[in-house]
């Protein structure tokens, strides 16, 4: 049996949530999507609130993954403990609220989702994501396993993809908000893309108003990030998996404007 897994790049700001709500149902229908994972890391531009998470679920997400801005909104802490379909990076300390992976029951069987975060340039006190992935996989009882690697360095994301090649069904990168051109299937059968891209303002610098980003590089005093106005886009990828083998048999990157 073949199933289609949709992975949606970082939702950024109000326009990203609105665009997701408007277009996700039709994309799921067009591509015969069986399961959807959305990175909600930047729904509040920086972080995500429980209300914004509910909006993303209402749009059609089965699971929300997060990243380095998980703790920006303190009200999210209880929500993480109460809702098993929103994940924070698994390599955060064990004392942190929520969980970093879970197995979900679906009409096509069980699928595991793992959320990891890179360590290069993110200035976060996290465990090694490679070793954490090994530990999680040693205890999982699911043939289909997908991984969101939220990381700054393309090299760290690609290295994890090859490290897990043949052991998981798909690995995709998030965080850098620019869709990469390498969506495909690795030699041992794992679907991979270095970065899904972003769901949010199309005319922006990674979702942020261009003048604010320019000001930062000119040395202006820092201020809270503001999402850019104007039209939005949605960047994502579809991974077609074989439920018998757990392998990825096709991968396609998409951009909806």
Active site residues: 69
Query: Of 164, 203, 232, which Cα lies nearest the Cα of 11?
Result: 232
- Among the listed residues 58, 148, 61, the one whose alpha carbon sits nearest the alpha carbon of residue 101: 148
Cα separation, 140 vs 80, in Å, equals: 21
Q: Name the DSSP class of 220.
A: P
What is the four-CA torsion angle of 153, 226, 80, 237, rounded to 10 degrees?
-50
Q: Measure the CA–CA gap between 73 and 77, rounded to whole angstroms.
A: 8
Question: Strand 248-256 relative to strand 232-242: parallel, antiparallel, unpaired?
Answer: antiparallel
Nearest to 99 by CA among 118, 86, 112, 117: 86
Angle between helices 154-164 and 129-139 (to 10 degrees): 30
Compute and round to an integer the Cα radius of gyration of the chain.
17
């Amino acid at each position: 049996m073949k199933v289609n897994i949709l992975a949606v790049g970082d939702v950024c700001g109000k326009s990203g949530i609105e665009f997701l709500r408007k277009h996700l149902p039709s994309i799921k229908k067009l591509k015969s999507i069986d399961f959807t994972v959305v990175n909600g890391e930047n729904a509040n531009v920086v972080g995500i609130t429980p209300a914004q998470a509910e909006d993303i679920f209402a749009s059609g997400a089965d699971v929300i993954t997060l990243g380095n801005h998980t703790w920006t909104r303190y009200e999210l802490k209880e929500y993480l403990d109460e809702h098993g379909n929103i994940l924070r990076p698994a390599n955060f300390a064990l004392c942190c609220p929520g969980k970093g992976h879970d197995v979900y029951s679906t009409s096509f069987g069980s699928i595991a989702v793992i959320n990891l975060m890179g360590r290069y340039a993110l200035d976060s006190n996290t465990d090694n994501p490679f070793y954490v992935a090994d530990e999680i996989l040693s205890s999982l009882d699911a043939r289909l396993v997908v991984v969101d690697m939220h990381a700054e360095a393309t090299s760290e994301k690609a290295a994890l993809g090859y490290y897990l090649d043949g052991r998981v069904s798909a690995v995709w990168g998030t965080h850098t908000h620019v869709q990469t051109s390498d969506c495909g299937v690795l030699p041992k059968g794992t679907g991979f893309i270095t970065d899904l891209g972003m769901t949010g303002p199309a005319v922006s610098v990674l979702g942020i108003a261009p003048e604010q980003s320019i000001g930062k590089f000119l040395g202006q005093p820092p201020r809270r990030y503001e999402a850019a106005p104007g039209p939005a886009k949605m960047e994502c990828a579809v991974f077609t998996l074989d439920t018998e083998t757990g392998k990825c048999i096709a991968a396609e990157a998409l951009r909806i404007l």
